[in-house]
Amino acid sequence: MDSDDIALSWVLASRRPEQLAKFYADLLGSIAEPGVAAHHWIVPLQAQGSLQIYTPSGKRPWPESGSALAPCLQRRAKADPLLELQSWLHHVIQLGGKSTEEPRLESFGAECWLEDPEGQRFLLLVLRSESAETTIG
């Protein structure tokens, strides 16, 4: 696993992502940017990374309070995002992580929610090579 192509960002569930993104952007001295869908916004952070604000899929339960903010480790696919995610997932499980769902292919790439060895949620995301450099949860 080459760490040069892995980026860390934070994903925050929101019922009104555009408004919340503008709130955090103002607080952080940044400018909110549209993400990969109407319900997804990005707040670039000054140092490195970003805060990504999104509305979870209606097909998934709303995150419990305290679980709405989570790290997102992402990389860009060199080939098939789902196959690359499955390989990455296998590596994370070997390190002591636990998958909480099956990896799934989305329009922007492949993603899977996991828990670290202490039970904290995080997202693995492999973006399609032709996608913009943004994420969604």
pLDDT above 80 (res 130): no
Beta-sheet pairing, 40-44 with 50-54: antiparallel
Average of pLDDT values for 72-82? 92
| Contact in structure between 22 and 80 (CB atoms under 8 Å) | no
3-state secondary structure 17-32: HHHHHHHHHHHHCCCC
Give me the residue label for tokens 């940044």: 30
- Residue 34 gets the label, from left (phi > 0), alpha (psi -120 to 50) or beta, of beta
**H helix intervals, 29-125:** 81-94
Question: How far is C-alpha 3 from the chain's CA centre?
Answer: 17
* Higher pLDDT pick, 42 / 72: 42
Average of pLDDT values for 20-27? 84
pTM check: above 0.75:
no
**Confidence at residue 13, expressed as pLDDT on a 0 to 100 scale:** 86
**Confidence at residue 3, expressed as pLDDT on a 0 to 100 scale:** 63
**Please, what is the average pLDDT of the chain?**
84
| Contact in structure between 59 and 122 (CB atoms under 8 Å) | no
- Domains plus CATH for the chain? 3-127 (3.10.180.10)
**pLDDT category of residue 54 using cuts at 50, 70 and 90:** confident
Which tens digits make up the pLDDT trace of 80-118? 999 999 999 998 998 889 998 999 999 999 999 988 887
